Amino acid sequence: MEKPKKIKVGISIGDPNGIGVEVILKTFEDKNIFKFFIPIVFGNIKILKEQKNYFKLKTRIKKIKEIKNVSDCNLNVFNCWDEDFEINYGSMNKKGGELSAKSILFASEALKEKKIDTLVTLPINKSAIQSKIFKFKGHTDFLSKKFSGEALMFMIHDKLKLALVTDHIPIGSISKSITKTLLNKKIELVIESLKKDFLIKKPKIAILGCDPHCGDDGVIGNKDQKVIVPVIKSNFERGKLIYGPFSSDGFFGNKEYKRFDAIIAIYHDQGLIPFKLLSFGEGVNFTAGLDYVRTSPDHGTAFDIAGKDLAKINSFKEALFKSRIIYFNRNKK
């Protein structure tokens, strides 16, 4: 049997006071994972060793000074800082945020320089990470600027793919943010990703409505009739299989999502709540629209269970393998 091709996957550790390092160590305790990946963790060897001992794990760890010197059967650790750090599980502090920023900065630069093939990021705390070196709402905004692209937050699972028109903005700003230009751009990005990243030749896409019951013909609101319906109609007339708008409650309640290759939600919670319920802890956040592959688990820092040996690896493991699939799909000859 032919051996699977390995990729170099870079991993940023997220907030060191959260579950990120625990999830990494537990995942790579399974030696079979090394058949598919050469992992490079951007963090600090002391933190990984300390958490390895704390959780009584046997993960094989190796410190490297240069990425070219990686081992293909160890969890390679590239030191992004040398100073000591006292882990305080479940605590939000600026030092933890600063180190999580250094991790993603080093990892993203390695991705840009093509020293790694894909990047999987562990969760940051959006408040703690704010500093002179990181002034972004999250990974997606940072990577969009880093790689000079139009980043799309695309939640993926074997049963469901869901993109967002708006992501991390206050709910009071959603309606005025929805324009024909923005919606058309998101549709283009979703179609491009489905074709390039998932090899779906003629994708069929559903768009959810903005107002309750899609505005009920203007009784509740007019955003759907003035913006969303005309955009859907113009795209459909150009041969794109775009349907909607659909009222979110009935759409998911009646399992309409099963008829489509992807769904476009108008705002964060409209899409993320059903996605997380349906993906059963195995969902992946994929940053589409860039020339580089980045995925992450669909959970947060989980400060409430950090240090309690309760973190599950499912979503992170899926993020690893989804990044690998997308990488090979993009590089098919």
**Assigned CATH for 1-151+290-333:** 3.40.718.10
> What integer pLDDT is reported at residue 4 of this predicted model?
85
Name the CATH topology of 155-283.
Answer: Isopropylmalate Dehydrogenase (3.40.718)
> What integer pLDDT is reported at residue 211 of this predicted model?
84
Residue 217: is its pLDDT beyond 70? no
Tell me, what DSSP letter sits at residue 226?
Answer: I
Residue 218: is its pLDDT beyond 70? no
Report the DSSP beta bridge partners of residue 287. 153
Note the pTM of the prediction, 2 decimals.
0.94
> What integer pLDDT is reported at residue 215 of this predicted model?
52
Residue 33: is its pLDDT beyond 70? yes
Fold identical between 1-151+290-333 and 155-283?
A: yes
The domain ranges of the chain are 1-151+290-333, 155-283
**Predicted confidence band of residue 108 (pLDDT cuts 50, 70, 90):** very high
11, HSE (Cβ side, Cα atoms, 13 Å): 29
Q: How far apart are CA 198 and CA 295, in angstroms?
A: 14
C-alpha radius of gyration, the chain, whole number: 20
- SS3 of 38-80: the string is EEEEEECHHHHHHHHHHCCCCCCEEEECCHHHCCCCCEEEEEC
Strands 262-265 and 160-164: parallel
Question: How large is the average pLDDT for residues 101-122?
Answer: 98
Question: How large is the average pLDDT for residues 49-57?
Answer: 98
Which is more confidently placed, 188 or 216? 188
> What integer pLDDT is reported at residue 333 of this predicted model?
66
- Residue 282 CA, chain-centre distance (Å), reads 12
**Predicted confidence band of residue 306 (pLDDT cuts 50, 70, 90):** very high
Question: How large is the average pLDDT for residues 276-295?
Answer: 96
- Mean pLDDT of the residues in the chain: 94
Residue 330: is its pLDDT beyond 90? yes
